[in-house]
Amino acid sequence: MTLKTIPEAPAARPCVQVQCDLTPKALERWNPSIKAAVTDDNTITMYDPIGYDWWTGDGVTAKRVSAALRSIGDSDVTVKINSPGGDVFEGLAIYNLLREHKGKVTVQVLGLAASAASFIAMAGDEVQIARAGFLMIHNSWTGVAGDRNDIREVADFLEQIDGSLADIYAVRTGGKVEEMSRLMDVETWMGGSAAIEAGFADSLLASDATKEDTNAMTPHQVAARRLDMILAKQGMPRTERRSLIQDLKAGMPGATPSGKPNAADTPADLANPIAELQAALARFSAAATKTGE
């Protein structure tokens, strides 16, 4: 596999209102404590969601990857991934940056490469995956508001994006675009050996290539992501979820006036709001079900 054979991906966003979010299942299965045992100056790590991550104030962005590649120059680069995915458009931009890099790109999937992280991995000249690692591919999905013409326009655009992603997967695996589309339609998860057998990866990583960093995420970030996942499952838009959780954090003991990510210190700070919100959502769901009877 050479970079010249990998298809270029469309990176344009149809409008600023369209934001592609994490899937709750990917967030549930993501273990953020898995990291590389060893890195060097020619390593780019992707240990966060793709796109700006509101919880950490960081995230894997095209701007960050571009800066890292400029620093590395034309030398070979190793990209180490453990990410639940995220914004498909940011992922496409990152994919194109790696695709255009003049040096060899080696991708190592340490834990999870889901959604946008999975097609970023396809930009590697060589893809290695941990035996216990996972790849997940699916159709791009988003929340959008507007009339039927606005929604239809976004749906048509996402269909084009899905076709481009299927093409990328097909070129990497040697399979057919139609086959990749079927796998994306049903959201396909592949373990390390299965990913190699299907052509998404080339080899298994050595068992000592990863380590577990128990301090990878602070307690408040774990709790906040848990709450965010609950709200996402209920269909609440991302902007509303973040506004609600900011309000909760602002009213907690030890919260900072700005409501920045370090506002809560322990899981207990968010435990009660999470429990209360779960109960409220359960009551709401029961009422909605009763109304629909």
List residues with catalytic annotation. 115, 138
Q: Which amino acid is at 74?
A: D
CA 25 vs CA 17, 85, 225, 232: distances in Å: 24, 11, 12, 10
Nearest to 45, CA basis, from 115, 120, 131: 120
Element at 103 (helix H, strand E): none
Question: Does residue 86 sit in helix, strand or coil?
Answer: strand
CA 37 vs CA 76, 88, 234: distances in Å: 19, 28, 37
Helices (H), the chain: 24-29, 62-72, 88-100, 116-121, 148-173, 177-185, 192-197, 219-233, 238-250, 267-292
CA 270 vs CA 57, 227, 248: distances in Å: 19, 8, 8
Structure tokens at 235: 């269909």
CB atoms within 10 A of CB 145: 10
Work out the angle between the directed axes of helices 267-292 and 238-250 (0-180°, nearest 10): 130
